[in-house]
Structure formats: structure tokens, C-alpha cells
Amino acid sequence: MKLDFLESAVLKTLVLDYSEPDIQKLLEIDHEKYHLIISNLFFKYNTYDLFQTILFAIANGHINRYDLVKDEIKNLALSHSQYIYDNLKILDLLKIKSSNDLDGLLNEFIIKSQGIFIKKDCSKISFVLSLEEIEYCKHRVFHSLRCDLSEFDESILTNFKIEKALIRRLKVNNFFNVIRRVFELQLIEKDIFVPEYEDLQKAIKEEVKINIISNYQALDMTDKEKRLSIYFNLINYYNELENKLFFAECVLI
């Protein structure tokens, strides 16, 4: 299955938390056309839930994952890739193994990425979620990924007020970005969603380290290519960590 340009564009802008009027303005489509696109997406993914539609589109690779990364993370990855490259050069000159230092530099990247959003939004958002809200977020993600439609649909109808309240409190435009904000602002512990999250993070980081070191040591790559390689590895690292929270049990279509 493929998405056409407008279907893909609508999903990407929804993930990036554009409002419906802003999407219509950006894509130069009217209200009727926008909702026709949404209806077509629901039909293609056999659901009438926007959150689930977005998850299926990402999990199946129907929209480019890089396009969904926020500018704040891209800018941080760009500056941090240069920082890592400079450190690797120094370690190389000193003939020191870079693995342990790179581990710390990757940890620093994740800490900085979390700090960006906390610093930006700490004065705008009420940070304490109720137990009911936490349970709803868990339930929503769990059943969306398992595609348990009967219980899933009933849950949405029963708890729609909670979802609307979360969207309002977190100042976002849809439930996908509720979950994104919950993780960005660390409002819920990640292992509540993925019990083995820390182990998964270590495994992903180890793979990123291997890729960075391998490309840095490659004789057929220019300095610019090595820096770009570090940049894209940082983006992939961030994406993989986010993916584990959303798609650990997602069923591909």
C-alpha cells in the first residue's frame, strides 16, 4: 500500500503537531478536502482513530521517519555531531580508545534533547498527571499497538473527556502529540510503557556507537561525510528510542 502526496503530507504535519486550519493553509486545501483525505486514510488502515492511523503509517514505513523529527532535535543533532567529531579527533590524536567517551557523549545528547523541551515548556504546562490520565495513556498505546479494536473503541468512547483534557493541558493538537509530550517532558516513566526500556536503550546505543566508530575510521569517507554520518546516527538513535515507546508490539499491515 502507498500513500499519495497529500495523504503523506497530512500525516506528517499531524505528527509535527500542526492544527487542522494550519494544515489546510499549508497544503492549500479546504475543509472538505482535508476530511476526505482523513476518511481515505481511515479506510486504508481499517480504523477510524487518528492516533492508530499515524502509528500504522509510521510502523509500516509509509511516511519518512526523518520528516517527523522536530527541528529542535535536528538542530541539537547537528551541533552535537560536530562536538562528537571533534572529540573523536582529539582521542585519535592521543591514541585513546573512543568507546567509553562516545558512550558518555551519546548519553549527553539524550539528556540535552530532554532538556530542550523541559526548559521550553516548564512555565506553560501543568506537569502532574493524575493516575487516571497515566492509566489512560498506557491503555491507549497498548491497545493501539495490539489492534484490539473492540476494547480499544469502547475505551475511546468511555474516556474521550480524558483525552480532550490531555490535549488541552499539554497544549497540543492531537493524541499522538500527547504521548510525544508525555515522553519529552518525562511525565511518565518510560518503563511503564516498555518494561525492558533501559536494556533496549543500551542495545540501541551500542549499535549507534559501532556505526559511528566504524564510519569515523573509514578511509574512503571525507571529514564532511563522517560528520554527516554522526548526525544521522544521532537522529536514528533518537528515533529508535521514541519508536520503542510507540511500536514495541505494533502489527504491520
Only one residue has cell 535536528, namely 74
What residue type is 227 in one-letter code?
A: R
Q: DSSP 3-state helix, strand, coil percentages of the chain (rounded to 5)?
A: 75, 0, 25
Residue 62 CB neighbours (<10 A): 18
Mean pLDDT of the chain: 87
Only one residue has cell 482523513, namely 38
DSSP 58-104: HHTTSS-GGGGS-HHHHHHHHHHHHHHHHHHHHHHHTT---HHHHHH
Confidence label for 91 from pLDDT (cuts 50, 70 and 90): confident
- Residue 68's pLDDT is what? 95
Q: Can you list the domains of the chain with their CATH numbers?
A: 5-67 (1.10.10.10), 70-253 (no CATH)
Q: Is the pLDDT confidence value at 117 over 90?
A: no
Cα R_g (the chain), whole angstroms: 20
- Is there a contact between 53 and 20 (Cβ–Cβ < 8 Å)? no
- Residue 146's pLDDT is what? 61
For 105-119, 143-157, 202-216, which range has the lowest pLDDT when averaged over its residues?
143-157
Q: Cα separation of 147 and 184, whole Å?
A: 25
Q: Is the pLDDT confidence value at 251 over 50?
A: no
For 36-40, 191-195, 238-242, which range has the lowest pLDDT when averaged over its residues?
191-195
For 113-117, 157-161, 207-211, which range has the lowest pLDDT when averaged over its residues?
157-161
Crossing angle of helices 131-146 and 149-158, in 10° steps, is 150
Q: Is the pLDDT confidence value at 118 over 70?
A: yes
Q: Cα separation of 247 and 2, whole Å?
A: 20
Q: Taking residues 237-250, report their average pLDDT.
A: 80
